[in-house]
Structure 1
C-alpha cells in the first residue's frame, strides 16, 4: 500500500511518453522525407536529416541549432572546395589541415555543433563525392537551408510552445493576488473600530506570494528560449524584467505592512491619515488590475506590442494621492506632537513610507512599454534609484 502511494505521488512528475513536439517532429520529418525523395533535385535526403536535427521543442532552440548548422555547412563547403581544388597537397595532409581549420574557425565563430557538420561535409565530399563535390556541396547547402526554414516555420506555427503564454498567466495571477492583498489592507485602514489581527494568515499569504514569484522566475528561463538568439534585445525581455521588479517591490511593501500593528483610528487626524493611505492602496490595486487585463490581452492576441499609455491616467492620480498623503502625514505629526508615544509615531511614519513607495513603483509601471526599449530602460533605472520620501 505504501509503495502504491509513493508511485501515485511520483507519477504526475514523470515525463509523458509522447509529447506534441515529438509528434510534430515525426510529421514534419516524414513530410520532408517525402518531398526530398520526390524532388527532381538530387540529394533531397538532406532535407529530412536537417529537420530531424534542428526541429526542437522551442523556437529559440530551433533557431540556435539552425544557425549553427547553416554556418557549419557553409564553412565545410568552402573549406572542401579550397583544400580539394585550390591546394595541391597530399590527401592525408590536406584532410588534416581542412579538419583543423574547421575547429579553428568554429572556435572563432563560437560554434558548438556546427564545426562537426563542417567536418562531416569535408570527409564525405572528399572521399564519397570527390567526382561531384563542386555540385554536391552547394546542393547540400541548399537543402540544409530549406530544412532549417521548414523547422523554424513548424516550431512557430505547428503546436508552438506555450512557455510565453504560461509565463504571462502566472504573472497575472501574482499581480491579482497582490491586488487582493492591497485591497484587504485598504479595508483595514478604512475599518472603524479595533479590527482584527490576522497576522498568521497574512504570513502564509506572504510566503505564497514569494513562492509564486520564484516560480515565475523559473518559468521565465523557459520563455527566454522562445525569444531567439539575443533575448535581451527583444521587447518582451524588457517587459518581463519590469514586471519582475514591480512584483518584487510590491511584495516587499505588502510584507512590510503585514508586520505592522493594527491601525487605530482615534483621534480624528489618524482616521484622516489612514483614509489617505487607503486611497493610495485602492488606486494601486486598480492599477494592478488594469495591468493584469492588458497582459491577458497580450497573451490572447499573441502580440509583443505592450503599451502602457492607458495606465498613465491612473499613475498620475496615484502620484497626486501620494503627494496628499505626504502632506497629511506632516500635518498629522504636527497636530499630535506630544500626544502620541514615539513608538506609535514611528509606526505611522513607517506605514506611510511603505505606502508612498507604491507611488514610486507606479512610476516604474508607467514605463512598461516596449516601443522604445532604451528610453524605457533609462526611465526605469531612474525610477528604481529614486529614494523614498
Structure 2
C-alpha cells in the first residue's frame, strides 16, 4: 500500500478501470511466481513486494470510484464494498487451508491465481464518469487561471486538517493487524486448542462483515456526525485491546472477537468517506493514496507484538500499547473541528472563489456570499449632438437648439435630439 499515491495519480491520469485491471494482473503474475519460489528471499519479493504493488493498484481505484459513484448513500455503499472484503477473507482462509491439505501450498497459490481472473472481469465494470484524465476540479474549469499553481499534490501536507486526519489514522493502524496475526497464537498460549482458536477469527470476521453494512447505513443519516462515530469506534477498539490481559478463557476471547468486529467497522468504512468529506472530490485520489501509504508504514504493530512476545513470553503488552495508541488517536481526531474553524483551506470548488479578471487575483469567499455591488442606474436617454459644421463663428461656442417652427428658413443649422 506504499504505492497508494502512485496508484491514485495513475487512476486520475488513465482511469480506474485500467489501473484496477493492471493491479489484478500484477497480483496474478506475482502469485504464480511465488508458487515457484525456491527460497524465502524470493517470496519476500514476489509475494511481498509485487503482490503489495498489485494490491495497491487494484484497491485504490475501487474506493475512489465508490466515492464518485454515490453521493447520497456513500457510507452504505462503502460499507457494502468493505464487507465484501471481510467475507472474502473468511472464505479464502478456509479454502486456502483445504487446498493446502489436498494439493500443497504451491498448487494452492496457482489455484488462487486463476481465481483472480474474477477481479480482472469485475474491473471492467468501473465505468468512468468523466473522460480519462479528467476530474471535476477548479483546475479543469479554470485552466488558464493562476489557481492551478496551488493545486499540487504535496500541498496536501500543508493542510492542517489533512495532517491531523493522517496522524490519527497512523496511530490507529499501528495495532490494526495485531489480532489478525497474533490472536490465534495468543489463544494457543492460553491453552485453547488451535482449531477452537481459529473460530475466534471466524466470529470476528462475521461480525465485522455485518457491522460494516449496518454502520454504512447509519452514517448516511443527516443526523449523524460521521467524525463522532469514527472517534467512538477508535476509542472502542483501543479499550478492547487494553482488556486483553484480563481475557483468559475461550468464551471471553470469542466475545472479544465479536465486539472487535463491531467496534472496528465504524472506523474502517469511514476512512474513505471522511477522506472525501474533508478533502473534497478533486483531492480524493491523491489524499486516499497518501492515506494508504501512511497506514502501510504505520502497521508496525504485528512485528512489535511479536518482539514483545519473544522478550516476555506474552502478547499482552503488544495489545495494551496498541490500545493506548487508539485512545490517543481518539483525542487527536477531536482537533479536526478546531482546525476547521481556524484554518482557511484551499478552494474545493469553482463556486467558492472570486477571480479578478484584471489582476488575475483569486480570493476565497467567506461563509456568506459576497455582496453584489450595485451599479448606478443608466439613463434611458442619451444626448446626441450633430456634427454639422457651423458657418458662423458666433454660434460655434453656443449649444444649438431645436426649432420646431413650420418655416424651414427659421430652423437652425443644427438640432439636439433626445433619444
The answer, yes or no, to whether TM exceeds 0.5 is no
Larger RCO (CA under 8 A, 6+ residues apart): 2
The TM-score normalised by the length of structure 1 is 0.26
Task: Specify the structure having the higher radius of gyration (Cα).
Answer: 2
Richer in helix (by share):
1
The TM-score normalised by the length of structure 2 is 0.25
